[in-house]
Structure 1
Amino acid sequence: MKRSRSSLVHQVTYAAKNPHKIVPHLRRLVRDTWFRLRTRDHVAYYRAVMKSDTAKDPEGAVGSHTHRRWLALGRMQFDYLVEHGLKPECRMLEIGCGNLRAGHLFIDYLHTGNYYGIDISPDILMAAQETLVTHGLQDKLPYLTPVRDLRFAFLPDAHFDVVHAHSVFSHSPPHVIEECFAHVGRVMKPGAWFDFTFDRTEGREHQVLREDFYYRTETLLALAGKYGFEAAFMDDWERLPHKQSKIRLVKKPLAQRPLGGADIGLRADGGMA
């Protein structure tokens, strides 16, 4: 997509084609503005968003507005990872595990105790516990932990074979993504890989309501390289019925990692540099 979703032209055109979405959008705008005024940073702001959305519908809060779609998106993520290297013996860290849309399948597939899910929202993790009960997965002993940031300071070195983040960076400004890249390598084993999705744009990088962020592929590839990862765009994911794109990072040996690199951050006008 080349047109910025934050542009006035796009918004007017979209509203003209979807008049039934105007009132819900305005409600979301008012709510989100209120949350931004009352919170100290993006993570606290988005935690408030998730609390509000989860109270209405936990499955809707993770982007699935029907149970059928919730199941389908979870299955899509699971099948893709299994086809691309996930094994039952792998130790897996899922960033932004939500209410276990895909997590319930990962937990069932992996050996007992091998799944670790984290999320910034305690409310959605309460819903995740309900998902465990619904699917009878208590004996698999998954770890579900609320977090304040993406520094992973409480996790051990070189512990995970696989890291997964679906629809996390699509809601994250550049500094949150950079924080993750700067620290996640420490908890990954040598040769471990990290799959994440993102909203891709071929034009100007932008955000909508501080909830949805659009990045160029080359921006994220360069940022990953700065922190010592080999990064690859997963072309075959594009053939699946999902609007986001996917990148895989592989942890490189320390001797191969570059030093320094330019930071990526928000411009003064609210865009991305």
Structure 2
Amino acid sequence: MAATQFNLLTALGLRDNHYLLDIGCGSLRAGRLFIPYLRSGHYCGLEPEEWLVQQGIDSELGRDILRIKQPLFAHNWKYDFSSFGRKFDYMLAQSIFTHASASQITQCLQGVKEHLSPLGIFAVNFILGSEDYKGNEWVYPGCVNYTEAGMRSLVENAGLEMRLVNWPALPTTWMLVTHRGEGRVLREPTGATAALDVRNLVVSGFEESPEAWGYVDSQWIEGEWLYVVGWCRNPATNMPHKDVLVANEDRRLLGSAVTWISRPDVAEAFKEPLLERCGFRARIPASSLNAGKNELVTYAFDPDTGIALRLPNSPTVKDLII
């Protein structure tokens, strides 16, 4: 379960420089992964039972890491995050809404709205059922159910918005919560880092002069591998565009990549913080190239339309010789 939470947040973009609030951190089941990963002072945990945290430190982490990573903890039942004195890029609540009443969820969401950064993401799981829990008490060790409509009502009444995502955590369902109007930051985490399989991919058309979809900065051969590096964005939304294809001059597909690499230069150029993760690095077997000179072409690919849109090369990008 710890790995499930860690992989979910990193798939959603969590990096070591971000600030994370782990709501109901308990004995640091997930904290033992997040605390070493994040920079000093960037992990915060809320847990009503202080003894659980201390047990987690002794059993999972050791005391030395407190000095090195300086995680912060608060202990209350009111979802009061104010003692941390900051807003968070990511918030996480594993197995909290699975036991909580609607009023308790509302109280938590109010704290989330106040302390989630403008483009932040709150990842929380609950048990999706055919009816909503109507009680007023915390239920433990049992669990409670909520319908999607019921949970959405609670989220929207708190001035936030949500979407369900397909992430393995049976029997619970994960949802991602953002500030209202910022749902554009949400991507399906299961496909966020999965590259397309070009062996069975059908491209319905090629556009050779599209509007500013990206750029190929460099390409080279190192050992048995060909590398192609650049960035890709959708000009209509000014957001990272996920899928990139690399082909030869005959449009034979050689490989693919996803936009997931940090490119703060592009984000700054377009004045859009969410473009920071618009970089890509395609890694393709050099054996897939033809003998002699190879002119490579890189495309942004839209799986919905099947259209491939050519990305221009930097003037420094030259043909490859095999």
Q: Which range, TM-score by smaller chain? A: 0.5 to 0.7
Greater relative CO, 1 or 2 (CA 8 Å, sep 6+): 1
Q: How does 1:148-163 map to 2 (within 5 A)?
A: 148-157=77-86, 159-163=87-91
Which residue of the partner structure matches residue 152 of structure 2?
A: 221
CA distance in 1, matches of 2:27, 2:76: 15
Task: Name the SS of the counterpart of 1:170 in structure 2.
Answer: coil
Candidates 75, 78, 97, aligned match of 1:146: 75
TM-score, normalised to structure 1, is 0.60
Kindly indicate whether the alpha-carbon contact (under 8 Å) linking 2:81 and 2:111 is maintained by their aligned counterparts in 1.
Answer: yes
Task: Name the SS of the counterpart of 1:112 in structure 2.
Answer: coil
Which residue of the partner structure matches residue 232 of structure 1?
A: 163
Q: How does 1:62-141 map to 2 (within 5 A)?
A: 73-131=1-59, 133-134=61-62, 137-138=65-66, 139-141=68-70
Q: Which has the larger radius of gyration?
A: 2
What is the CA deviation profile of residues 62-88 of structure 1, one whole-angstrom value per residue up to 9, with x for unaligned ones? Answer: xxxxxxxxxxx1111111211121111
Instruction: Tell me by how many angstroms 1:181 deviates.
Output: 1.0
Which structure has the highest strand share of the two? 2
Task: Tell me whether 1:167 sits opposite 2:95 in the alignment.
Answer: yes
Gaps of 5+ in 2: 183-322
CA distance in 2, matches of 1:209, 1:143: 25
CA distance in 1, matches of 2:52, 2:112: 22
Gaps of 5+ in 1: 1-72, 255-273
Which residue of the partner structure matches residue 199 of structure 1?
A: 127
> In the alignment, residue 160 of structure 2 is paired with which amino acid?
F
TM-score, normalised to structure 2, is 0.51
Kindly indicate whether the alpha-carbon contact (under 8 Å) linking 1:125 and 1:146 is maintained by their aligned counterparts in 2.
Answer: no
Q: Structure 1 residues 98 and 182, CA, compared in 2 at 3 Å: closer, same or farther?
A: same
What is the CA deviation profile of residues 145-189 of structure 1, one whole-angstrom value per residue up to 9, with x for unaligned ones? Answer: 2113113233435x2100000001111111110011122211111
- State the superposition RMSD in angstroms: 2.3
Kindly indicate whether the alpha-carbon contact (under 8 Å) linking 1:151 and 1:184 is maintained by their aligned counterparts in 2.
Answer: no
CA distance in 2, matches of 1:88, 1:249: 21
Which structure has the highest helix share of the two? 1
Instruction: Tell me by how many angstroms 1:126 deviates.
Output: 1.7
